[in-house]
Amino acid sequence: MPSSRLRVYQYLPFLRQFSIEPAVLPAVPEPWFSRFYYSSSKGTRLIHYSGEILGSVARLIRGRQYDIIFVQKGILSTNWKGFDDLLGWANKRLVFDLDDWVYGKSVVEFRSPLLRAFQDKNQTEKISSRSKAVVVGNAYLKKLALQYNSNVSIIPTPVDTGRFMPGKTKSVRKGDEVVIGWMGVAGGLEYVRLLEKVFRDLSKRYSIRLKLITRLGNESFRWDAVPIDYREWSYQSEVREMEECDIGIMPLRDDEWSRGKCSLKLLQYMAMGLPSVSSRIGNNAEVIEDGVDGFLAQEPEEWFEKLSRLIEDQILRKNMGEKARAKVVDRYSLEKTTPLLAKVLKDVYGA
């Protein structure tokens, strides 16, 4: 999952440079996760959640041997009751990390009243209160976290700018086609759907193609008269797929969940040297300087106007993309955020 990959796994080699030796204890091993988590079968997913519970008991027992436990977003996706007490028993030096609005809810919420009775929707609040420090991805999440813990640090979700970087060449295309890209989990396609009329109108005027880089599964995504290119997301291919894009988009709804988002895909577009148009919501408005290193938009007419400017002006795309890349390197790269995380961990260890 993006949160684990970007706020845990990619930090590992960098933390070792600060004399911090990390060990990752996932609830289930990767082959299990990939096979069961994305399944549409209720029975298969129930097997996954059962394995997650048993795996979490085992890893909390192991957690007693470490100096610090760093919890990313939650102990398990179902917020099973009592696991926050087990966490406190396992280790008193806790650091809780969140990059989404997860307070008052579970990542997975069961429909069955019987199963829901075993869930604790306030578990993340309890973990925040127990922790020696809380790390969040943006100012909105900090405001929420301060209700439960006074020691809250903002550390943006970092981008590996040595991996996400502008491609030297673009793919061969017919005529002047401009590729507009979106990358994310399949659930995020609901935000892309908000722009259906915008893309229909753009397709009438320009030669464009919408490129979706995601794991669609059995879900279909079709707009009549709008060329759409589907690419299955993978860690190995994500950079190569983004190299073929000319513009990146990040549409959102204006709600609490969106305000808690940490603009990851937007930062990845910027690291690739892509100009972008994103919703003027939450962290997006903190990351982008409108008209300088990207565009912010809200109403459909504004989306159409700003995407049209980028489609028509190749020089604008180039200049905006270069400024976007420079900002990410300066503020949101692993080289900038790792010292911040290392300080939090060392402060907790020394407290």
Here the tokens at position 233 are 């997301």
Helix or strand or coil: residue 204? helix
Cα(54)–Cα(183) distance, integer angstroms? 33
The pLDDT score that the predictor gives to residue 77 is 86
pLDDT of residue 211 exceeding 90, the answer is yes
- Asked if 103 contacts 142 with a C-beta cutoff of 8 angstroms, the reply is no
Rounded to an integer, the average pLDDT of 172-198 is 86
Does the pLDDT value for residue 161 go beyond 90?
A: yes
pTM of the predicted model, to two decimals? 0.89
Question: What are the domain boundaries of the chain?
Answer: 2-157+333-350, 178-331
Compute the average pLDDT of residues 100-114.
85
DSSP state letter for 119: B
Q: 87: pLDDT confidence band, cut at 50, 70 and 90?
A: very high
The rounded mean pLDDT for the chain is: 91
Predicted pLDDT at 172: 45
SS3 289: coil
What's the mean pLDDT in 28-50? 79
Please work out, in degrees rounded to the nearest 5, the angle formed at the alpha carbon of residue 312 by the alpha carbons of 311 and 316.
85
- The stretch 18-30 carries a mean pLDDT of 90
Quote the pLDDT of residue 155: 97
Count CA atoms within 13 Å of residue 293 on its CB side. 21
pLDDT at 156 over 50: yes
Report the distance separating Cα 226 and Cα 248, nearest Å: 17
Chosen CATH of 178-331 out of 3.20.20.80, 3.40.50.2000, 3.40.640.10, 2.60.40.420: 3.40.50.2000
Q: How far apart are CA 179 and CA 28, in angstroms?
A: 37
User: How big is the CA angle at 139 (ends 6 and 270), to the nearest 5 degrees?
Assistant: 50
pLDDT tens digits, 222-279: 898 899 998 989 889 999 999 999 999 999 999 888 888 999 999 999 999 999 999 9
Give dist(CA 98, CA 157) in Å, integer.
10
Q: For 6-15, 131-140, 184-193, 309-318, which range has the lowest pLDDT when averaged over its residues? A: 184-193
Q: Which two tokens stand for residue 347?
A: 């402060």
Would the pLDDT of 168 be above 90?
no
Q: What is the mean predicted confidence (pLDDT) over 159-175?
A: 74
Comparing 2-157+333-350 with 178-331, is the CATH topology the same?
yes
Calpha distance 83→173 (Å, rounded): 53
| CA separation for the pair 252, 254 (Å, rounded) | 6
pLDDT the model gives residue 171: 47
Task: Supply the CATH classification number for the domain 2-157+333-350.
Answer: 3.40.50
Q: CB–CB of 179/244 below 8 Å?
A: yes
Q: Which amino acid type is present at position 294?
A: G
If you average pLDDT over residues 113-134, what whole number do you get?
Answer: 93
